[in-house]
Homo-oligomer: A and B are copies of this chain.
Amino acid sequence: MDLFQLRCFVAVCEELHFGKAAVRLHMTQPPLSRQIQLLEDSVGARLLERTSRSVALTAAGTVLYKDALKLLKLADAAVANARLTASGDSGRVTVGYTAVSGYVLIPQLLLQAQQALPGIEIVLEEMVSSQQLRALADEALDLAFVRPLASEADLLYHRVVREPMQLALPASHALAGKRRITLADLAGQPLIMYSQKEGQYFHDKIKNLFAATGVQPRYVHHMGQTHAIVALVQAGIGVAIVPASARHLYFEQVEFRDLWRRDVVAEIYLAWRRAERNPAQRRLREFILKTLGAGSAPGTEPEG
């Protein structure tokens, strides 16, 4: 059995006339008759009862006609689906993001993406940067919004966010009344710190910052994620240095203050495998980079 034979059969079923069906199929009657005979042979049953004056469906023909319609429809849909997938107009992309980028960046961006690329299903997975990079390598993620960290895998990066880091302190804190706060003011202060493992990027950044300036705060906790740290700040446990977007957490009893240092910035990179095969990923990535503007040049390694 053959899709062409089914197309022939459907045409004859609908015309109930070999001549007209042949015209519709852009062929002559004799080969059409032959195709029907071949189909009947392969099915092993007569499908059309024909006299020289009339063509009628047998019971088997009626049953096969219904199935043939489904089959041809499915065949067309299969080709269309494959084409859409190849063009990137359809498909699924799994996107990783860190909790803090989920406050503002991800929701706005992906809302726009869903509208612009309606055929693409975007699956979100929240995890810290190091997990994301591993997941990218394992193909568990197709795109990742990560802090710049070294990775074993062969990845490409593009910076999409660059924001200052700010001091988060309890509204009741002594420094809260001070007009301008500098790093030196933090000497001896209880500072809630990112953990080495889960919050590696911020941990290293803050540690280096204090090492460079010689100021020594008092590290009182080590947490992986920004929202947990700001929650401790609100509880009055200490101050913290966090990316400015942490303001979007809306902790009422927390004040955010500038550090007046242009080099203390937090960055988010979009990362993906160099050997990417999913056209939908390319489409979504191109959309994201276009939407976020030419924030910086692409590179194989983050500046980190």
Give A residues with C-beta under 8 Å from B: 1-4, 42-47, 49, 56, 58-64, 67-68, 70-71, 74-75, 77-79, 81-83, 85-87, 90-91, 277-280
- Best-surrounded residue of A46, A60, A87, A277 (most CB of chain B within 10 A): A60
The answer on a CB contact under 8 Å between B85 and A63 is yes
Q: Which of the residues B46, B61, B63, B277 comes within 8 Å of A49, measured between beta carbons? A: B277
Q: Which of the residues B59, B71, B75, B277 comes within 8 Å of A78, measured between beta carbons? A: B71
The answer on a CB contact under 8 Å between A82 and B3 is no
The answer on a CB contact under 8 Å between B45 and A63 is no
Given A2-B3, A3-B3, A74-B74, A85 contacting B59 (CB threshold 8 A): yes
Chosen A-B contacts, 20 in total, with CB atoms closer than 8 Å, are A1-B75, A2-B4, A43-B83, A44-B83, A44-B86, A45-B82, A45-B83, A45-B87, A47-B82, A49-B277, A56-B277, A58-B86, A60-B83, A60-B86, A60-B279, A61-B82, A63-B81, A63-B90, A67-B78, A70-B78
Min CB distance A93 to B, Å, is 10
Min CB distance A44 to B, Å, is 6
A78 contacts which chain B residues (CB < 8 A)?
64, 67-68, 70-71
Given A1-B3, A3-B1, A86-B44, A67 contacting B60 (CB threshold 8 A): no
Min CB distance A205 to B, Å, is 37
A45 contacts which chain B residues (CB < 8 A)?
82-83, 85-87
Given A3-B1, A85-B59, A71 contacting B75 (CB threshold 8 A): yes
- Measured CA separation A255–B49 after assembly (Å): 54
Min CB distance A128 to B, Å, is 28
A85 contacts which chain B residues (CB < 8 A)?
45, 59-60, 62-63
- Measured CA separation A90–B75 after assembly (Å): 26
Closest to A42 in B: B79
A81 contacts which chain B residues (CB < 8 A)?
63-64, 67
Q: Which of the residues B2, B59, B279 comes within 8 Å of A86, measured between beta carbons? A: B59
Q: Which of the residues B2, B67, B86, B278 comes within 8 Å of A82, measured between beta carbons? A: B67
The answer on a CB contact under 8 Å between B70 and A74 is yes
Closest to A276 in B: B59
A82 contacts which chain B residues (CB < 8 A)?
43, 45, 47, 60-61, 63-64, 67
- Measured CA separation A91–B91 after assembly (Å): 41
A68 contacts which chain B residues (CB < 8 A)?
78
Q: Which of the residues B74, B83, B279 comes within 8 Å of A71, measured between beta carbons? A: B74
- Measured CA separation A83–B16 after assembly (Å): 21
The answer on a CB contact under 8 Å between B3 and A278 is no
A79 contacts which chain B residues (CB < 8 A)?
1, 42-43, 64
Min CB distance A261 to B, Å, is 45
Given A71-B74, A74-B70, A86-B44, A280 contacting B63 (CB threshold 8 A): no
